[in-house]
């Protein structure tokens, strides 16, 4: 993992939550889709072993979509807890120059317990557990809450400081490339 220079205080431009949103999208795609595919393999295996067909899994479609979202959020959450407690960032956050630290231990990574509780709160209140109907509503509510208070509920509750460094063009293009390739591959 790369070495991080000391973080600077965020400028007003950094308070716009889009960097955090896109970092989360990269992480969910990187960890959620492979995790979902592994889960789908095992679910399909157990359905086939029980004499059922894939139709049981995909009918109705919204159930499958919610199952996919829930599974992706689960795998993302596992990876997020490990990454935050080990490196203080995730691949998406690293690409967009975002670092997560505890207020009590500035410069220090999150304790695994704090990372787990914070990630659970993000999954529940920020991502709606990936459930189709809840996800956009939770994203919108989180956006307005962040713009109002300049801190997310999960960062406030667990004493977490989110720091931003200067964003460089190659990192932005890498994020665009990663998301484009994965979306093209999935489609």
pLDDT in tens, 85-115: 998 899 999 999 998 887 666 567 888 899 9
Domain that holds residue 162: 12-186
- Judged against a pLDDT cut of 80, whether residue 180 lies above it is answered with yes
- Judged against a pLDDT cut of 80, whether residue 42 lies above it is answered with no
pTM attached to this predicted model: 0.76
Rounded Cα distance, 94 and 122, in Å: 18
- Judged against a pLDDT cut of 70, whether residue 18 lies above it is answered with yes
pLDDT at 14: 47
CB 135 within 8 A of CB 127: yes
Name the domain count of the chain. Answer: 1
Whether 1 is covered by a domain: the verdict is: no
Whether 111 is covered by a domain: the verdict is: yes
Rounded Cα distance, 71 and 86, in Å: 23
What number of other Cβ atoms are within 10 A of residue 109's Cβ? 19
Q: How confident is the model at residue 6 (pLDDT cuts 50, 70, 90)?
A: very low
Rg (CA), the chain: 18
Nearest to 121 by CA among 107, 108, 138: 138
Whether 136 is covered by a domain: the verdict is: yes
Specify the higher pLDDT residue, 46 or 132. Answer: 132
pLDDT at 141: 92
Whether 107 is covered by a domain: the verdict is: yes
Whether 88 is covered by a domain: the verdict is: yes
Whether 2 is covered by a domain: the verdict is: no
- Tokens 């359905």, located at residue: 47
Rounded Cα distance, 42 and 109, in Å: 34
């Amino acid at each position: 993992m790369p070495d991080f220079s000391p973080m600077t205080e965020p400028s007003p431009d950094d308070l716009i939550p889009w960097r955090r949103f896109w970092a989360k999208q990269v992480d969910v795609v990187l960890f959620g889709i492979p995790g979902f595919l592994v889960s789908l393999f095992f679910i399909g295996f157990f359905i086939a072993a029980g004499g059922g067909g894939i139709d049981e899994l995909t009918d109705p479609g919204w159930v499958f979509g919610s199952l996919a979202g829930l599974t992706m959020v689960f795998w993302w959450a596992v990876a997020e807890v490990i990454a935050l407690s080990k490196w203080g960032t995730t691949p998406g956050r690293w690409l967009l120059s975002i670092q997560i630290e505890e207020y009590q231990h500035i410069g220090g990574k999150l304790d695994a317990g704090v990372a787990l509780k914070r990630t659970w709160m993000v999954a529940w209140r920020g991502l709606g557990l990936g459930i189709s109907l809840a996800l956009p509503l939770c994203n919108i509510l989180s956006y307005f809450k962040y713009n109002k208070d300049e801190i997310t509920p999960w960062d406030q509750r667990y004493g977490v400081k989110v720091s931003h460094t200067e964003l460089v063009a190659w990192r932005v293009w890498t994020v665009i490339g990663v998301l484009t390739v994965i979306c093209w591959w999935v489609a």
